[in-house]
Structure 1
């Protein structure tokens, strides 16, 4: 009798623990149900619509974010550079390439909760489309690092993992047909502090 009760208890612990672990993973992973990936960037186009899958809806509830509807815009998140290496605050990155058409866009360095990195400086860890310098071919070249860089510089400080969040507002790519054939900037690691 005690043996059966113990086996039932072990089975319940495994079932509940495994279920909780799988839900935690589904809510914290940046790829999965409803996600689209373009290079190093991942987005959930249905996040602010009634068509959002249950995991995406739960992610929005857990993070407490104000999700953009399809007509409002689309946010892309990168947690790896273009070669697949995780993004680290102590490294320097070049974000370069063309951006899709949008009325306005923002780019910021984020922590694991997707909040803007607090750098302790007066300069925020964010850039937006009206303040960046563009190349001759209308592409952008940004440097994300703890040290100042010429041109477009995004301040990042500290140690550990980080994310880049690139949000496009009032853009045709937010429609279901607009996502095909777009390119997003590459994220290239150019060095790390020892």
Structure 2
């Protein structure tokens, strides 16, 4: 009888710890049931809709974020560069390429909670579509670094994990068919500070 009670308690403990651990992993992971990947960028197109999977809905509720609906826009998050390396705040990156059609887009460097990195200066680590310099072929080269760079510069400070958040507002790619042929910029590490 004691053996049966012990096995029952052990089974319950494994089930509770395993279940809670798997839910915690899915809520913290940038991979998910509805994740859509384009190169290093990941989006959850259904996150602001009634069709969102339960984990996405729980992530929105837990983090207190205001998710965009399909008619409003779509956010992409990158936690790795195009070569698969983890993004770090002490490194420099070149974000290079074209951006899909959108009325407006923003790009910012973020911490682990996806909040914009506060630099302690007047400007945060953020850029938007109306302040960047475009090439003649409508592509953009953005240098993300601690030190100022000519052209488009996204200021980074500190050390630790880094995320880039790219949000498109009022864009056709937010529709279910619009994601099939989207090209997003690449992220290449150009060096690291000691």
TM-score scaled to structure 1, two decimals? Answer: 0.98
Count of matched residue pairs: 194
Q: Secondary structure at the match of 1:77?
A: strand
Residue 73 of structure 2 corresponds to residue 73 of structure 1 = yes
CA deviation string 1:115-157 (max 9, x = no partner) = 1012222221100000000112110000111111111111111
Q: Secondary structure at the match of 2:96?
A: strand
Residue 8 (structure 1) shift: 1.9
State the partner residue of 1:132: 132
Which runs of no fewer than 5 residues in structure 2 stay unpaired?
none
Output the CA distance in 2 between the equivalents of 1:103 and 1:119.
Answer: 27
Residue 151 of structure 2 corresponds to residue 151 of structure 1 = yes
Residue 162 (structure 1) shift: 1.1
Q: Secondary structure at the match of 2:6?
A: helix
Question: What is the RMSD computed on CA atoms of the aligned residues?
Answer: 0.9
Q: Secondary structure at the match of 1:140?
A: strand
Q: Secondary structure at the match of 1:75?
A: strand
State the partner residue of 2:46: 46
Output the CA distance in 2 between the equivalents of 1:183 and 1:73.
Answer: 16
State the partner residue of 1:3: 3
Output the CA distance in 2 between the equivalents of 1:162 and 1:6.
Answer: 45
Shift >4 Å, 4+ stretches: none
TM-score scaled to structure 2, two decimals? Answer: 0.98
